[in-house]
Amino acid sequence: MLKKLTRALFGKPGKSRLPAATDTETASLPAALQALDLPDSVRILTRDEHGISRKQISPNALKVLYRLGDAGFHAFLVGGGVRDLLLKGSPKDFDISTDATPEEVRELFRNSRIIGRRFKIVHIRFGREIIEVTTFRAHHQADTTISDNSSRKTMRDMDSAHSDAGMILRDNVYGSIGEDALRRDFTINALYYTTRGFVVLDFADGQNDLDQRMIRIIGDPETRYREDPVRLLRAIRFAAKLDFRIEPSTEEPIDHLADLLGSVSPARLFDETLKLLAGGNAERTYALITRYRIMDYLFPATRAATPDPDSSAARLVQLALRNTDRRLQQSKSITPAFLYAALLWPPLLEALKERGIGPDERPRQPVLQEAANEVVTAQLQYTAIPRRFTAMMREIWDLQWRLMPTTPRRTRGAFEHPRFRAAYDFLVLREEAGEQTHGQGQWWTEFQRADEERQNQLLADLQSNREGGKKRRRRSRPKRNKGNPDGGSE
């Protein structure tokens, strides 16, 4: 308690909270920030220049900023939240960076917990909202390298470690705000907003790149991509989300470094894939990733099965992504299972074709299950799709053939299936993409819109068509032996 009170009154040991400005570079800073070790190149944007208002910031994020400040720490809104506010957008997340360690943040907030080993961060929960707090990181050389086959125990007590390829395995070396800014990935994410004086600190000319609508990596592109290959995906995601272009030197290594994604865990790649495709810009993002070899490390089977961008299979994927964007714009829910069902539908058709099943044929259940298992198992090597989603994908696929209206009983059973709506939406997209479905989607659309009497009539028509289409089986008569009226042998 005494420790907290001392910090609140006098700041952290060794730091003065209210130093006097001593030079022109820091003269425009609020007094409370002048103790920060800022580089001369930092650009200070005043409230009049940046236009950010506290009314645009989550009240919970402001609570965290103020409590950290009152406890004697420096705290800043950072990254995408600042970037989106400067672009006059509405951020979904508000992240905070501070000179408090994760343990010190945890001590201040009972509603928090420390997560992560590779990169310790603190999650502070306010109901459904989570404010993510990170400690200023410092640059560290790859003095400690860990081979790919080393055990996790080797890194347990390390603050920093790199792989043989230069990938950061541990990043818990803390530093100043200037060091932290240059450890960030792109210039437009190295912008820090503070409620102390309401200024924005721009460490890497990020405001200029925002004005130029440019994605530019901080530092040497190849080195930064090797440190964390997921930055390859983030460059594409931000370019698609913001409709920015990727700066040439930032873009140039993407293709020849795409194989670095092979060192990223399938679980992390699944999470990153969702960020790529479930952020409201799926169609534009997919168009970008198909330009690079990155597709070979996310959806290799899909790329192989859709060489012709004008084919119905490729068109289905495009329509599914467009549909996802439209649903998000309408604040409707989406499920990764539907997205993956569409992305892996072309490989499924190829797997069935290899088993002699054409697009107009109905596969036997064991054959369909075998093909689906093959496609899903292959994809799991790249993105670790949770089982609850793979199960739903299989149901959507299976229902594509069960939605062929045949008998009233089977049709009713398909209609009452829990996944009917998702399977129906998928069927309609297949028709729109140009697949031959013999009008199944149109039939089901009419059936759902009809009243009970009309539905019964449609089902009755199915039965009569089925019965009318059956050929009468002719009863075979035994051959008579001309010499024996009874037909028997002599």
CA 402 to chain centre: 31
Residue with structure tokens 């036997």? 364
Q: Could you give the count of Cα atoms lying within 13 Å of 474 in the half-sphere of its Cβ?
A: 3
Main-chain dihedrals φ then ψ at residue 466, nearest 5 degrees: -65, -45
Helix (H, G, I), strand (E, B) or coil at 115: strand
d(CA 405, CA 429): 18
Assigned token pair, 171:
């990043």
| CA 233/CA 273 separation, integer angstroms | 9
Long-range contacts for 109-117 (Cβ within 8 Å, ≥24 apart)? 109/64, 109/67, 117/155, 117/170
Mention every residue, 6+ apart, whose C-beta is less than 8 A from residue 47.
Answer: 198, 199
Cβ neighbours around 367 below 10 Å, total: 15
Alpha helices in 278-386 (DSSP H): 282-289, 300-305, 312-329, 336-343, 345-354, 365-380
Residue at 287: amino acid letter:
A
Structure tokens at 429: 């997209």
The residue count of the chain comes to 490
CB 433 within 8 A of CB 323: no
> What Rg value do the Cα atoms of the chain yield, rounded?
31
Max CA distance (Å), the chain? 131
- DSSP helix/strand/coil, 97: strand
Q: Which two tokens stand for residue 182?
A: 């240059």
Catalytic residue among 93, 205, 271, 425: 93
**CA gap 403, 413 in Å, rounded:** 9
Residues in Cβ contact with 131 at an 8 Å cutoff, skipping those fewer than 6 apart: 58, 60, 61, 64, 94, 95, 96, 123, 124
Q: Could you say which of 84, 171, 185, 398 is catalytic?
A: 185
Residue 39's alpha-carbon distances to 179, 295, 405, 478, in angstroms, are 9, 40, 71, 105
211 is catalytic: no
Listed in sequence order, the residues at least 6 apart from 185 whose beta carbon sits closer than 8 Å to its beta carbon are 217, 218, 224, 228, 231, 234
Catalytic residue of the set 84, 95, 228, 398: 95
Q: Which amino acid is at 335?
A: T
Residues known to be catalytic? 93, 95, 185
